[in-house]
Amino acid sequence: MAIQKGDNVPTATFMTMGADGPEPMTTDQLFSGKRIALFAVPGAFTPTCSAKHLPGFKEQAQAFKDKGVDSIACTSVNDVFVMNAWGKDQGVDGEMVMLADGNGDFAKSVGLELDAKGFGMGGRSQRYAMVVNDGVVENIFVEQGGEFKVSSADYVLENL
């Protein structure tokens, strides 16, 4: 069953790129005492993810802060090097945290994994966004197959 509004975010560890290379970041480190807008994409550098999803959150970063969001985080079932390169390509340094869920452990733990083998992409994450307040899901927006509507930055902002 997929994670729902009011649920605690499960314990998991992402990888991020630090000054000295890859570093782990736990869900406790990310969410404890903070209000975070987290969005998940099926793949870095993929068309909708690169042209619409991530840019929308980048463009609306200040609007999220104005509504009490401490930070924006992006996760995908990609390795830390790909997520770091994608963040640099998109120019998001300092505007959001790029979280590599390389083995899809977080996607599985929240019940939002995606079988993309038919597209040659293996196990991935569904496209979604959630607002997490001190480790508790305040709201969640999960897309239906192939859509990009409810997880967009604009939609999430309208529903904060």
Distances in whole angstroms, Cα of residue 98 to Cα of each of 1, 31, 44: 26, 14, 10
Q: Is the separation of the CB atoms in 44 and 82 below 8 Å?
A: yes
Encode burial over 67-104: b for 16+ CB neighbours within 10 A, e otherwise: eebebbbbbbbbbbebbbbbbeebebeebbbbbbbbeb
C-beta separation of 138 from 8 below 8 A: no
Whether 74 is a known active-site residue: answer: no
3-state secondary structure 11-49: CCEEEEEECCEEEEEEHHHHHCCCEEEEEEECCCCCHHH
**Amino acid at the residue 65:** K
Quick one: which of 106, 95, 114 has its CA closest to 132? Answer: 106
Q: Catalytic one among 36, 49, 110, 156? A: 49
Catalytic residues, which ones? 49
